[in-house]
Amino acid sequence: MNAPFLPSRVKVRLADPGDRGAVARFLDEHPDTEAFHRLEWLDAVERATGHRVRLLLSERDGAIRAVLALHQVHSPLFGRALVSTGFGVGGGVVGEGDDALFGAVQELALRLQCPTVELRGGAFPHGFGWHIKADSHAGFIAPLAADDEAQLLAIPRKQRAEVRRGLGYGMEVRVGREAQDRAMHYAVYAQSVHNLGTPVFPRALFDAVLDAFGDDADILTVLHGGTPLASVLSLYHRGAVMPYWGGGVFAARTMRANDVMYYALMNHARRRGCDRFDFGRSKVDTGAYHFKRNWGFVPQPLSYAHWTADGHAPRDVNPLSPRYRVKIALWQKLPLGLANRIGPFIARGLA
């Protein structure tokens, strides 16, 4: 006699240390996994900032069908939240998202006293207090060209002229992961974000990401006369390069060092086997948004989901928010040395 049909059983639970190998295999094999889903990213953020990793697993008959990686963010200035994933512009569910999984993350948030949940990609929930924002940010990805000259010609004419002007200064391009590369990058990046009026992230975060990613992360720096003008820390994932934390000092503008930096990174990434350039996300109609369009990148709308518990206001960490306008102006006037000492404490809550 045939055995009776047994319906598949779905269970959602928090992962424990013994699940790490199975989670790593699931993420490695799933086509939708991004750099910000990787255990290397999750571990680096936790180690550098103290924001604990929480992994929700959805299983059917004991086999993983979805993973939702979250950081438990805690900040005296910006409140508490579950974020997928901390300090990333991507994240969210990998695999099959459903009401059971999204309900579980709400329950987890309440249990951990985190009144806000933010999902930065993946499958999105519908209803049950979730809100989807689809018009605030855009991503920019384009294929890399066949060689250096083709890459230059692929840049629109006006922007290509800026790159050529920068190349005319004969600046040095250095790629590495050593202590000197890290020190130069942090000095340039800290000055760049200070000029924008935002606090710099802890240097420990950059070091942790570089150490965790190994050859899948590096630093490219543009120098003139031995002085670093522009620098970027990039991530490499499945054939794409993403210039993630980058900036330039004030003198970089005159010499077009940032333009040289991105062009040099395109060529460097192609030589190491990449076929796509992921320019990351930007808020719609900002300077960064239009800068990337000038390079010929076509904006692709990005969607984000957030949930806030009853009786609480949504967490606001957007530097363009009107509530921060005065604070940003004041921050820009702080001496750089003082800003670099207190900035990392503040920036930990901006995950």
- Tens of pLDDT along the chain (351 residues) come to 343 433 468 899 999 999 999 999 999 999 999 999 999 999 999 999 999 999 999 999 989 999 999 999 998 888 899 999 999 999 999 999 999 999 999 999 999 999 999 999 988 888 889 999 998 999 999 999 999 999 999 999 999 999 999 999 999 999 999 999 999 999 999 999 998 888 999 999 999 999 999 999 999 999 999 999 999 999 999 999 999 999 999 999 999 999 999 999 999 999 999 999 999 999 999 999 999 999 999 999 999 999 999 999 888 777 666 776 777 778 788 898 888 888 888 888 888
Give the model's pLDDT for residue 76: 85
- Please give the structure tokens belonging to residue 18: 């013994």
Peptide bond into 85 cis (omega under 30): yes
Give the model's pLDDT for residue 8: 60
Domain residues of the chain, as ranges? 10-138+303-315, 145-274
Asked if the domains 10-138+303-315 and 145-274 are classified in one and the same CATH topology, the answer is yes
Which residue has tokens 């990351």?
280
Which residue has tokens 């994240």?
91
Give the model's pLDDT for residue 233: 98
Angle between helices 179-196 and 325-333 (to 10 degrees): 130
Give the model's pLDDT for residue 319: 63
Nearest to 200, CA basis, from 246, 146, 159, 141: 246
How far apart CA 155 and CA 149 sit, in angstroms, is 10
How far apart CA 25 and CA 148 sit, in angstroms, is 36
Give the model's pLDDT for residue 314: 81
Domain 145-274: CATH superfamily is Gcn5-related N-acetyltransferase (GNAT) (3.40.630.30)
Question: 155 and 295 in contact (C-beta within 8 Å)?
Answer: yes
**Domain 10-138+303-315 CATH (choose: 3.40.630.30, 3.40.50.720, 3.30.70.1050, 3.30.70.3340):** 3.40.630.30
Nearest to 198, CA basis, from 47, 317, 37: 317
Give the model's pLDDT for residue 4: 40
Give the model's pLDDT for residue 218: 98
Q: Is the pTM of the predicted complex or chain greater than 0.85?
A: yes
